[in-house]
Amino acid sequence: MSQTKEDKQLQDKPDLEERKSSSPGPDTVADRPDSESPLEVKDKLSSPTQMPEAHPVSAKQSIANFLSRPTEGVQALVGGYIGGLVPKLKSDPKSPPEEQEVSAKTEQAVNKDKKAEEKKRVLLQQEKIIARVSIDNRTRALVQALRRTADPKLCITRVEELTFHLLEFPEGKGVAIKEKIIPYLLRLRQVKDETLQAAVREILALIGYVDPVKGRGIRILTIDGGGTRGVVALQTLRKLVELTQKPIHQLFDYICGVSTGAILAFMLGLFHMPLDECEELYRKLGSDVFTQNVIVGTVKMSWSHAFYDSNTWEKILKDRIGSALMIETARNPACPKVAAISTIVNRGQTPKAFVFRNYGHFPGTNSHYLGGCQYKMWQAIRASSAAPGYFAEYALGSDLHQDGGLLLNNPSALALHECKCIWPDTPLECIVSLGTGRYESDVRNTSTYTSLKTKLSNVISSATDTEEVHIMLDGLLPSDTYFRFNPVICENIPLDESRDEKLDQLQLEGMKYIERNDQKMKKVAKILSQEKTTLQKINDWIKLKSDMYEGLPFFSKL
């Protein structure tokens, strides 16, 4: 029995020695400088962030001794070595809480802005709808009030109220037409009251209703820009009046001008001035406006980009032309359709032509060009003649206007387009295009290099070239339809020339040019003198009756 116990102790002794050698004894623990209890060691081992202190391990230790350690210690040991490698090997697919919170706030802000913009858009749309409904209701009320009125004097007031309303809200013209306003106005125009007839003609022109043309087809007169060189164009007009024995405003259905051409168009088409008086006033305007001290003009150029006094020019226009609106000239039955062209320079990337009209377009007719008839006549001239370097640009509403010659110094193509919008079913009879003289130098530049000034001058000359439009229309229009008069002058006279001897020289060159083109002038005069055929007159009468009694039986139109 005792032998058996001794054998068992001998077998267990190596195991005990191995355990002692593998685990620190109490003496070893006591020898450490900052000794810790076994519980503290166990807590440190169980913490994943604090690694246990490494000790040399005997090669004789088995895996069983390693596994015999507490479970928490093993996990801490493994986690300490391997846990740091896990984030490097595998990234967390989910965003950190902070990033999720920031993205959520950003998304909420974006959604809030979108909702605010959508709400604003809906409100604006609702306001537009409400405003449009109010305009339509107001238009209907004015039309119905006019139709119920029997007193001619009260009719004048009602017509003027409707005119002012449509000037302020042009979109109401379509509603007025649907309310059968045109037939009523045409019948009202038959009343023997000149004031009432004038008011009716104005509102008809505003709506876009036009009477038939004077001749067999549309007759157009266009006048180029060119400053005081406009005296050249006056010589051609003087010859036409001499051959036809009729004033200019009776020869043409549409007169259009740019800059100085607009001044002539207004003098002849709207004010019906005789040519002698027109030329005298034209020269006086040049002497009053184009007089400036060189030093003062240079100083003004530095801060206003205008050599001449624009305020003085505006004052002259207000005194000479007055403050009447463009559309008010339609009250005179002898006035043709007249337009002045300017250039808007602050809409979009490229300049755009603007048409100051004394007429309106029929609803549904879309002109390629911006424009309006609600402006004053002096404003139209001021905007059309705002040549850069000569006069300051003109602010009208939110638009900045400059000289129309920047885009269309020869307005023939624009005038043709406008006439097709006004009289879409009427053929073209003739276009008379008047230039203000062109200078062609025979000097050839042999240099192989051009300065920046020369380059800019070439660009400006190309943009304001009047002959390119002439070449295009001359090739497209039928023969004996387009007539261009633009003499070659022997000297390059500037736009602001005001000396009498130079103006007399221009006048003489214009007269010589007309003499050389006498047959061409006679051909134009013959076309302009042709009267309507009997069939055309009958068709015009039938159309008028049809427009007057729209919706009634046919026999009432006769």
The contacts of residue 291 (CB under 8 Å, 6+ apart) are 498
| C-beta neighbour count of 182 within 10 angstroms | 19
Give the helix ranges, DSSP H, for 68-96. Answer: 71-82, 86-89
CA dist 264 and 479 (Å) reads 27
- Angle (CA) 183 184 188, round 5°: 120
For residues 386 and 402, the answer to whether their CB atoms sit within 8 Å is: yes
Task: Report helix, strand or coil for 340.
Answer: strand
| C-beta neighbour count of 544 within 10 angstroms | 14
For residues 154 and 188, the answer to whether their CB atoms sit within 8 Å is: no
CA proximity to 407, closest of 342, 472, 484: 342
Give the distance, in angstroms, between the CA of residue 71 and the centroid of all CA atoms in the same chain: 82
As given in the structure block, the two tokens for residue 233 are 């164009």
Longest dimension (CA), the chain: 164
> Burial of 508 by CB count in 10 Å (0-12 exposed, 13-18 middle, 19+ buried)?
exposed
For residues 357 and 375, the answer to whether their CB atoms sit within 8 Å is: no
Active-site amino acid positions: 259, 403
Sign of the CA dihedral with 164 first, then 169, 172, and 173 last: positive
The contacts of residue 156 (CB under 8 Å, 6+ apart) are 193, 195, 196, 199
As given in the structure block, the two tokens for residue 198 are 């004038």
CA dist 33 and 114 (Å) reads 68
